[in-house]
Structure 1
């Protein structure tokens, strides 16, 4: 009986040990699986931008700036994209120094997907102007953020790009500096320009255009500095043509006139013809030397930190005594 008990105890011990071994193995495998999940989670991050979420790498190194807006903000933040858009076959001259070394990826309407793919991007910062098929094509390459072309989204734009490039503190300081300067200048602007009519006019394809108060460079004038919104601006809902006759009726006190050669390839003489036109020469702005041609870079997109900060300085310099 004693021998049988010993044998039974030994068998039982073997079963227990086998069970422990299986449990230990399962525990080990479970731990490895959990560790793998943690590692996988740690390699990506979720970024919130204009009420949508985008998943990108936790270590974003290769940023493709596939919009002029993101290129301007990258230049402001000191971020070096690996790829940028071209204008006339090269990096736009006003951003060339800050973005030197970046590869060209095509034009703003439809960047070259093959060129972008070779750059192995961690994220593509595109444009909200893109059509759905372009967005879909870019998302197949890498997560694509449709950088807003709406001027009033400039803070959100700067902030999301700063998150991607590790420049959050710089972005926050830029926004604070801008708001402080605008606030300091606003009282003086409202005092001196209370009865003044100021317009931003952009010549494209040989035609003069104006924009709503919250579009292009206008928010700097009408929102941030408190310049009175002219009736002709209040009436438009999008980019709208303004004729020379209507401009004469408005008869503005000051005009910021934008003329970019690449946007007027079929009408290169438009600016000279306008300036020599008797009606234009009779305007109060012309008579008082308050027509400022390309006071800010004519390719400036308007709704970016770069554009707003430059135009704020220019507006204060040109319009205030």
Structure 2
């Protein structure tokens, strides 16, 4: 009897042991599944730029005193807010995967480089969702963007705010060249610019000597002037040697002036940029200005030295593309041909 009880007890213990082992074995897959789920969750919570660049080796580049970590192969570039970068892309034949629009369309000027590109919102209103879907390697934004916008973009991919200050034009060009490996194309563009400016400065210097020269922009129905280092001003004052009016020296940013103030400045030579896209609510504003007696009293107007849209009115002024276009236009104008 005792033997039977002992045998039954032993069998029970063995069954309990097997069950216990089975429980341990079943626990392992459950633990692994939990770990896998947690890892997946952590991965999904990572910023998209980590996912995008996971298989792309990174490098550090320097731009205007700051360092940026970018992929060695920055093949997918999004440009938002920076028309300067769009113009540089035109020079270097860089085709962004995404670019900003104007009035829902790409500017005709950039037709060569935007074929197949996705619109990523207007100049001052980037579409974060669209940019995220493009999985860019690098985003080129604008220094005009507020910090919070740059911060949001930086969560998608490394974002570089490109300077809108015209005197940084060479750094801007070299930035895009370094990102895309097109340093030679940039060197050739700079060489062309240097040749243009050297040959023209001597000719135009005589024309502009002791003269009041002004660049203005008609924008949103108003007359705008700019600081010495913004828009086409460096081309006029630094490249071609014209004197800088005190009003331009005093301007801190884009500044609205009245027609009366323009008359008081009384420029001898006046370069006017007018884009219909920037004056949709006041399409006749330039025509109205030209009919105004105050306008007609300005020296530049009286002497037929007003140059309207000497270059494409959508150009930013502070890029190698703008600068060369402006110099070539000056060279072909009556300023050089008849003086």
Matched residue, 2:67: 53
CA offsets 1:251-285 (integer angstroms, 9 cap, x no match): 22221111122222222221110011112123222
Matches within 5 A, 1:119-268: 119-268=134-283
Q: Does 1:43 align with 2:53?
A: no
Q: Does 1:103 align with 2:131?
A: no
Could you state the TM-score of these two structures normalised by the residue count of structure 1?
0.84
Deviates more, 1:295-304 or 1:157-166: 295-304
Native 8 Å contact 1:261 1:268 kept in 2: yes
Distance 1:154 1:260 in 2: 22
Q: Runs of 4 or more off by more than 4 Å in structure 1?
A: none
- Aligned residue pair count: 282
Structure whose CA Rg is larger: 2
Native 8 Å contact 1:110 1:134 kept in 2: no
Matched residue, 2:336: 320
Native 8 Å contact 1:206 1:267 kept in 2: yes
Instruction: Please list every run of 5 or more consecutive structure 2 residues that lacks an aligned counterpart in the other structure.
Output: 1-53
Distance 1:192 1:292 in 2: 15
Q: Does 1:297 align with 2:312?
A: yes
Distance 1:42 1:73 in 2: 25
Matched residue, 1:11: none
Distance 1:90 1:186 in 2: 37
Matched residue, 1:7: none
Q: Helix, strand or coil: the match of 2:300?
A: helix
Deviates more, 1:75-84 or 1:176-185: 176-185
Deviates more, 1:127-136 or 1:228-237: 228-237
Distance 1:98 1:198 in 2: 34
Distance 2:270 2:111 in 1: 28
Instruction: Please list every run of 5 or more consecutive structure 1 residues that lacks an aligned counterpart in the other structure.
Output: 1-39
